[in-house]
């Protein structure tokens, strides 16, 4: 019997129960941590529909998530974490993907995921803000205290390709109204999954 070489995709749930991130409305119960779960589960489901991929949902603190990814024995693998943004102004809007500029694989993954997830926003007017390249000035200090440290730690701290998705601004009325709908979050997650599959098939083959 031929053994299938399975690719494991790590889907990290953003933030934690203690520190749930941004919310709709500010201080409300629809937090990043809550909103991301359903989206993450849709990414997982998409992975499991392909015979040679599997997904693992990781929770816990950022340093623990990174340790679990880096200590995993099988390869190849990649990691993704989905967040929702909060702006200084309610006018700030849109989705983007962050990747470490020193990782060719991560930048490629970001491109594939952004192209597919954009389908879920068609006709909404929510802008595609592109790929944001994270550099070394943005250093991981190993705690979740700093917002900047958190995002940089994820895209630079993992030993595998990793991207951080910002799925929209919870502080923007149009973005928030779209993201509050469960079916929209599932759709975004499923399209992100399609982008991951395209990266694995077309770029990593």
Nearer Cβ to Zn ion, position 13 or 83? 83
Q: Which residue sits closest to Zn ion, CB atoms considered?
A: 83
**SS3 at position 165:** strand
158-191: burial string, b at 16+ Cβ within 10 Å, e else = bebbbbbbbbbbbbbeebbebbeeeebbbbbbbb
Of 15 and 77, CB closest to Zn ion: 15
CB 46 within 8 A of CB 195: no
What x-and-dash track marks residues 3-22 binding Zn ion by CB under 5 A? -----------x------x-
Mask for 66-85, x = binds Zn ion (CB under 5 A): -----------------x--
CB of 14 to Zn ion, least distance (A): 5
Cα(185)–Cα(154) distance, integer angstroms: 22
Classify residue 46 as exposed, middle or buried by CB count within 10 Å of its CB (0-12, 13-18, 19+): buried
Query: What track of x and - describes contact with Zn ion for positions 82 through 121 (by CB under 5 A)?
Result: -x--------------------------------------
**Which CA distances in Å does 55 have to 52, 148, 156?**
10, 27, 21
Does 32 bind Zn ion (CB under 5 A)? Our answer is yes
Q: Is 166 in the site for Zn ion (CB under 5 A)?
A: no
The binding site for Zn ion (CB under 5 A) comprises: 14, 21, 32, 83
């Amino acid at each position: 019997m031929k053994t299938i070489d399975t690719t494991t995709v790590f889907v990290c749930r953003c933030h934690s129960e203690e520190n749930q991130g941004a919310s709709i409305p500010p201080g409300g119960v629809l937090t990043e941590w809550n909103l991301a779960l359903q989206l993450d589960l849709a990414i997982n489901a998409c992975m499991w529909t392909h015979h040679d991929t599997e997904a693992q949902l990781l929770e816990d603190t950022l340093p623990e998530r990174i340790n679990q990814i880096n200590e995993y024995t099988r390869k190849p693998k990649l990691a993704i974490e989905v967040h929702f943004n909060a702006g200084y102004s309610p006018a700030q809007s849109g989705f983007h993907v962050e990747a470490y500029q020193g990782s060719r694989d991560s930048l490629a993954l970001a491109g594939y995921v952004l192209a597919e997830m954009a389908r879920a926003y068609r006709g909404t007017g929510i802008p595609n803000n592109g790929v944001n390249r994270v550099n070394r000035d943005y250093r991981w200090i190993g705690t979740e205290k700093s917002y900047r440290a958190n995002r940089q730690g994820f895209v630079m701290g993992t030993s595998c390709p990793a991207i951080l998705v910002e799925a929209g601004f919870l502080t923007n009325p149009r973005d928030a109204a779209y993201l509050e709908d469960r079916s929209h979050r599932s759709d975004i997650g499923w399209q992100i999954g399609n982008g991951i599959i395209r990266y694995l098939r077309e770029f990593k083959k």
